[in-house]
Amino acid sequence: MKTKPVIKIRKNASSDRYDGSKYRRRAIREYQQKGYRTWTKENDYGMRWPGTEGVISAVKRKFGENCVNRSAGDLEAEGYQRFWVYDYINQGAKEEAKMRIHD
């Protein structure tokens, strides 16, 4: 799956005075030519999958947004651990709820 990052552009953005990347300057011009609605449809802006966003938000609420590790491999492992623990907690809660229903 190929995805590209899409960051909303401000209404008053100017490509003339922008000193950043060429890609961003091009995106500003495209946004100004097409308008907000056309630009959002073409770039799939705002198209998040609620299932994924909800889980990520819940993990951040439970464990915090910051990571302790610094190396890329350790950061990845820490992320897996957080999601594993979150899933483990949810499975336990579901089983407990089932037991309450049957009692």
The closest of 64, 63, 85, 81 to 73, measured between CA atoms, is: 81
The closest of 59, 55, 31, 56 to 45, measured between CA atoms, is: 31
pLDDT digits (tens, 9 = 90+) for 38-48: 998 998 887 77
In Å, how far are 5, 26, 88 from 64, measured between CA atoms? Answer: 24, 36, 17
Determine whether 31 is exposed, middle or buried from the number of CB atoms within 10 Å of its CB (0-12, 13-18, 19+).
buried
Q: How confident is the model at residue 85 (pLDDT cuts 50, 70, 90)?
A: very high
Question: For the whole model, what pTM was predicted?
Answer: 0.48
pLDDT digits (tens, 9 = 90+) for 8-38: 888 888 877 667 788 888 888 999 999 999 9
